[in-house]
Every structure is written in C-alpha cells, then in structure tokens.
C-alpha cells in the first residue's frame, strides 16, 4: 500500500486531508505530522523521519502563515517556508517521493489587472511572500518532479481564517470596516484537499510523475474583494451587522498585501480534470459545517 506523508496536519488543508483520508484508507496509508513529529527547523529529525517512513508521496501543508509577524521574524519564516522546503524536496528526490507543495498568491506584487497564469512574473512585496517564493525555487531545484500548487485566501471550518473571524465579529459588533481594494479569489480548503488527492489518484493511474511536475494555480471561481466576501458571509448567516468598505490605506498592516492576486486556474483544470467550484457554493459548504456557530 502506498504511503502519503502529510506535513502541517493540523492546519486548514491538513485537517481537511485528515477528514478525506477515511475515503482513501483502502488504497493509501496516511502519515500525518505536526511541528513536533516533523519539525521544519530540525533537519536531522526530518532526515530520520524520511528514513524511517520512506513515503511515496509528501503533501507539504506545513507553513509559517503569520503574514504580518513574518516582517519581524524573517529568519523564522524563511526557515520554515523556504529552507525547510528545500530539505524536504531533497529527501523526496532521494527516496523517490512525489512532492506536492502548497504555495501562495503572495509571490505576486499585485500590479496585474488580468488573472495571473503560472508563468506570470513573481515579485513578492512582503517577507511571507519572499519566503514562500524561496520554497518554490528550492522545491524545483532539489526535486525536478515537484508539483507546486499556489492558492489564495484559504478558509475552512478548521483553524483561524477570515470566514470564522467575520462570523464572530458580526455577532459581536454592529459595524465592521473591510478593505475593498484587494482583489482575488477565496479558496475553501476542503476543495483544495479534494483536488490534491485527485492529483495523487491521477499520478497513480498514469504511473508517470514527470508529466505532472510544475506549478499550478488553484482557487475557487470568481473575482471579489475582501469586502465582497464579508458581505456574502453576513448575508448567508443572517447578520444585521453594517459592513463598510474602506481602502487598504485606512487599515495599515506591517506587511503589504498585493492589490490584485486573482489567479487563472485553466492549467490545473486541464492537466488533472479538476473541477473549480464557484466561491459562493464553497462558502455555503463551509458554513454548513460551521452551523453550530450560527444564531
């Protein structure tokens, strides 16, 4: 039975993969790790873990995701998002493991006005984006068969994310201000997890990993601002909170965000026959799982 190592198992995508793994247990053995069992700042432990488990696939969901905090912890973010990815990729290459690595829309500077393809110029404008770009570069350098999936605005019923924060604040407050000049597309982690396992299925069916290698974009269908997203959440949960649009300049953060990071998903759809769901449908799916929080 083939073995799939999932790092960052307690994060949003990792948690969704844990939930879906039950459907695959007759075909794959899953090994889920966290920062204690597979520490990305301890190369010796990562090396010994691979030697002990020799996985056929490694889905690297582990990441330093505190975008603003990364500005004051550049070494830590670079270690986890950059250097460690190179170590993992080298180990994957050594053991014949197929690496599927999760990256981000924050590798772009936000200056585009058109949906970004995989070959669009990269130019991160914050430390988090820099560290994630380094991870992409090292993955490709150390393991030519690496599959890199850039995603954006991830949310789920697990962990901390925009949807859950908005729900909480909309029950606590009568008014909220949300930026309306950052444009992109949200990604439901449950959809992304399904897509990843569909890619694994297709690799298994073809037996050829080199055809699949490269960078892919995955996000839900649609083009919205964070303000649009907040309005949809409010309306779907029946809140009466007044949501006001503001420019990013009125909500300064330590890390700059790209003003436009909408990604084109044609490549992943065609390569793996992946379905891309409209963001409103996926939001509905997530909110159903979160219904215990609804009034």
Residue 128 designated active-site: yes
The catalytically annotated residue of 64, 128, 155, 216 is: 128
Contact between residue 218 and residue 39 where contact means Cβ atoms under 8 Å apart: no
Contact between residue 56 and residue 3 where contact means Cβ atoms under 8 Å apart: yes
**Cβ within 8 Å of residue 96, ≥6 positions away:** 56
Give me 90's structure tokens.
């080298």
Pairing relationship of beta strands 242-246 and 187-188 according to DSSP bridges: unpaired
Contact between residue 159 and residue 110 where contact means Cβ atoms under 8 Å apart: no
The candidate with the shortest Cα–Cα distance to 100, out of 202, 187, 19, is 202
Q: Is 277 left (phi over 0), alpha (psi -120 to 50) or beta?
A: beta
Give dist(CA 198, CA 179) in Å, integer.
Answer: 35
Contact between residue 223 and residue 262 where contact means Cβ atoms under 8 Å apart: yes
Active-site residues: which are they?
128
């Amino acid at each position: 039975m083939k073995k799939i190592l999932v790092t960052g198992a307690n994060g949003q995508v990792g948690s969704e993969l844990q939930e879906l793994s039950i459907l695959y247990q007759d075909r794959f053995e899953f090994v889920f790790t966290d920062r204690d069992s597979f520490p990305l700042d301890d190369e010796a432990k990562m090396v010994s873990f691979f030697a002990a488990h020799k996985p056929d696939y490694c889905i690297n969901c582990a990441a330093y995701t505190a975008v603003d905090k990364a500005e004051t912890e550049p070494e830590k973010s670079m270690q986890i998002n950059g250097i460690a990815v190179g170590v993992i990729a080298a180990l994957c290459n050594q053991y014949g493991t197929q690496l599927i690595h999760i990256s981000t829309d924050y590798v772009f500077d936000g200056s585009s006005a058109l949906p970004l393809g995989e070959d669009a110029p990269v130019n991160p404008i914050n430390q988090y984006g820099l560290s994630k770009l380094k991870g992409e570069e090292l993955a490709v350098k150390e393991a030519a068969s690496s599959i890199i999936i850039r995603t954006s605005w991830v949310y789920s019923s697990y962990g901390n994310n925009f949807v859950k924060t908005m729900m909480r604040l909309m029950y606590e407050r009568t008014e909220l201000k949300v930026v309306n000049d950052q444009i992109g597309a949200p990604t439901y982690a449950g959809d992304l997890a399904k897509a990843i396992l569909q890619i694994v299925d297709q690799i298994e069916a073809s037996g050829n990993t080199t055809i699949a290698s490269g960078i892919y974009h995955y996000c839900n269908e649609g083009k919205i601002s964070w303000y649009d997203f907040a309005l949809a959440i409010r309306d779907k949960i029946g809140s009466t909170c007044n949501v006001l649009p503001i420019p990013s300049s009125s909500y300064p953060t330590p890390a700059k965000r790209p003003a436009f990071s909408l990604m084109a998903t044609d490549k992943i759809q065609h390569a793996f026959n992946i379905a891309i769901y409209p963001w409103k449908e996926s939001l509905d799916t997530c909110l159903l799982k979160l219904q215990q929080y609804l009034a």
